[in-house]
Structure 1
Amino acid sequence: MNKLLLYCIIAALSAFPAAVRGETVSAIAAIVNDDVITTLDVQKEADQIAREVEKKNAGEVPDKATIRKTALDRLIDKKLVEQKIKELDIKVPEEELRQSIEDVKKQNNLTQEALVAALAGQGLSFEQYKNQLREQLERLRLMSQEVRSKIQVGEREVREYYEANKARYGQEEFFHARHIFFKVDKNAPETEKAKVMATATRVLQEARSGKDFAELARQYSDDPAAKQDGGDLGTFKKGDMIAEIEAAVGAMKPGDVSDLVKTAAGLHIIKLEERGLGKPRPLDEVKGEIEDLLYKKKSEERFNQWVDELRKGAAIEIKR
């Protein structure tokens, strides 16, 4: 018996008791070649898309008709891809699937129990997740076979992208600063802490009045190296310094002297000597990164075109 006809008979029989009870009945929303997409499938997909839209647009209520059309289009494309995977007999070995799950656990530092708990929080069982992962791996194999193997990224494309996006490749901001450090023992009596605070406040006033900052560092800083380098912190980039000092420096202009900056070790007065942009990383160093980015972009574009071609050659009937 024809698969579609059999499905229709089963759907009609199973729907009868539900109709009598007044429950929602899952009907046929579309037929893609010989495969059926139900209205229940569409509703589930639409609900997922609506959640994505609301999250992205800060609670904005999405248009239901647009969401439903997007959901149906997604399901049609998915069905066409599934049919092609079946036609080409693309299969993911169980060992590859197991290893992919192990990689996910390792990357996220999860035990099997923690992964199952995390999936449950998203409303998924481990078997459902495993099936979804298998589908993703099959899709990647299909893309590699039908799309990616036919894509090339040329030297000229890489160079043009690099020239147009130099700011993305290493023109990181750098800072050159000095500091005066006052050590504060967290277990010290409050009177001792108050004394250090009073000294730091007085030195801050002197620094802001125009006194030589390096000399003040040599005279007052508890950093042993300050006697030699005048509190010079050298040149550094974001991420190189402790968070409190980095936050203070980030808001300063060359020549500025900070307020007292408190860290776990004590109090600091920072003077920013210089800030600017470093040189971009050379093309040879970022070439592979750019090639991967362009390759991925081309793959996605070509895959979408390929799915559109599948649509043109498919028998697709929209029912409701």
Structure 2
Amino acid sequence: MNIRTHIQTLLIFTMTLAAQGQSVVDPGATLPRSVQLRGGESGGGTVRPDESRRVSPDEAPVSRLRPQRIVNRIAATVNGRPITANEVSVRLMPIGAQLAAQYPKQGPEFYKQLALAKKNIIEDLVERELLRNEFEGMGGVIRDSLIDQEINRTILTTFNGDRDAFLKNLSMSGMTIRSFREMTKNQLQVQIMRASKYDQEIPPTPEELRKEYEATKEQYRDLTKDKVKFKKIFIPMLGNDSASTPEVQFNLADLIANEIRAKKATFPEMATRYSKDMYAEKGGDWPITERSTLSPEFAAIIFGAQPGEIIGPLVDATGFTIVMVEKKELAPPPPLSAIKEQIDMMARNKRSNERYKKWVDRLRKKAIVKVYI
């Protein structure tokens, strides 16, 4: 794994946890001795974020997803401190790739979901800057020894302790050791401020545990044991006709999907006539398939669909796929007794998250936040 991949993975992981209402650090962790805090909250005014710019479909052709073109390289500022467009695009690219597979035609819903993802990313980056400002306003100090410790941990876990490999990958990514140290310091500031607002002293009641279990038990299922029965039509990226193009093939797949949705044709009829996979002659009828044998992206889409729903056309490197889910066999969640420790932690975090969000809201109201994209 190179530095760029490591950074992107870490940032995406942080964003995902934030979206789930979780902390990126152990809520029970104590502040390191090398961190000193003093003082109170900082002040300021409030400016409402600008609305996200609507993106024209012309900016992202069907053949590939292009990062949104941003003339102003500053995406937002928090009390004058900039958040760059690159910080936003790094987090947006993997989400955009997944959306492009789900919406290959990249119509209004694609741009709606992409704009929502961008908005959430900017909100997360703004929150991180608010925490950093609060940390520094309280006189917090991240000592060099703690930064060194965190970098050494990265070298050990990501590069098997090979510092030369770390430096080589750092150079290849275009990042200097100085900028990497600064990024590490910023991450530590955010983690410490989040950890300081979580406490684990008051245990949840049995009723709170039961409610949390009922609300989250599906998250603990063994997904590898999920199974699905579906029908599938596959249209290759290029047809047998030398004049065929990916655009022609996509239009064919889109027409097929719309004909089925409009009930002008049945799924088996269209599969037998047009599909180019091993089950075409059987009307596209695939046998019960384990989730673990499907690609993560494809599995996430079809397991999120309702029986009878027509999905697609979906796009990948080989062609276009239309799917109709017939039934899903989901693995059962474990009993409360088997995951009581995790549920207890979730219940504590939920209580702490409510206090944490109220605190962040107070910070934002006192800050000057401007969003430019």
Q: Shared topology, TM-score over 0.5?
A: no
TM normalised by structure 2 equals 0.39
Q: Which has the higher helix share?
A: 1
CA radius of gyration, larger in: 1
Relative to the length of structure 1, the TM-score reads 0.44
